[in-house]
Structure 1
């Protein structure tokens, strides 16, 4: 299936990181969410009930990034992917990308990014 809904470059302030100061001070995180689903029925009916309400997906992601604390981006991404799949039975697969610009690496770097793909 090649149908997808993309939410690109979402920005949230969260408290994730291995070091205690990262979980205390927090920072911005940028996310891309890809939702693989069949959009053909919604294309025919023009009805929100026949597709994924991406405003609810956005709210779900915001809730997790801003209200949970993880040491690893991998754990944050897993929580987001798992929650999206549980709350949206029409989504077959989800891809999550998380970018962390302020990383404790002694050198020039724009960001560190992880990407996971989870499905049913």
Structure 2
């Protein structure tokens, strides 16, 4: 089993509980870690036996830019479920960082982590 990590992808999305967050939007930073059986890919050195990183990136981009969620938990689950539809991915962890949160104090970001496994 192999783990693959796409780290600190940045997308602009319109997610949040407050209406202004869904109207103005903001940057979201995403990490995706997924588990695959890459034995055949490692032996063949052939991309057709692996999960193409660009496909994973495109799935995440599509969800973040084309859907709107109030909660990061819902966004994370939707991203994870989308990635589990890819045939070779067995498990996925999605971390979403939202730097601009309506908290009256100094904070770098809020992060939600979602883990999903193929049944």
TM-score, L = length of structure 1 = 0.96
Count of aligned pairs: 118
Unaligned stretches of 5+ residues in structure 1? none
Corresponding residue for residue 56 of structure 1: 55
What CA deviation, in whole Å up to 9, does each residue of 1:37-65 have, x standing for no partner? 11111111000111101101101100110
Corresponding residue for residue 11 of structure 1: 10
Q: SS where residue 102 of structure 1 aligns? A: coil
Corresponding residue for residue 27 of structure 1: 26
| Equivalent in 91, 94, 117 of residue 92 of structure 2 | 94
What CA deviation, in whole Å up to 9, does each residue of 1:58-99 have, x standing for no partner? 01100110111000000000000001111x111110000000
Unaligned stretches of 5+ residues in structure 2? none
TM-score, L = length of structure 2 = 0.97
Corresponding residue for residue 72 of structure 1: 71
Give me the CA root mean square deviation.
Answer: 0.7
CA distance in 1 between partners of 2:60 and 2:78 (Å): 9
Residue 31 of structure 1, CA deviation = 0.3
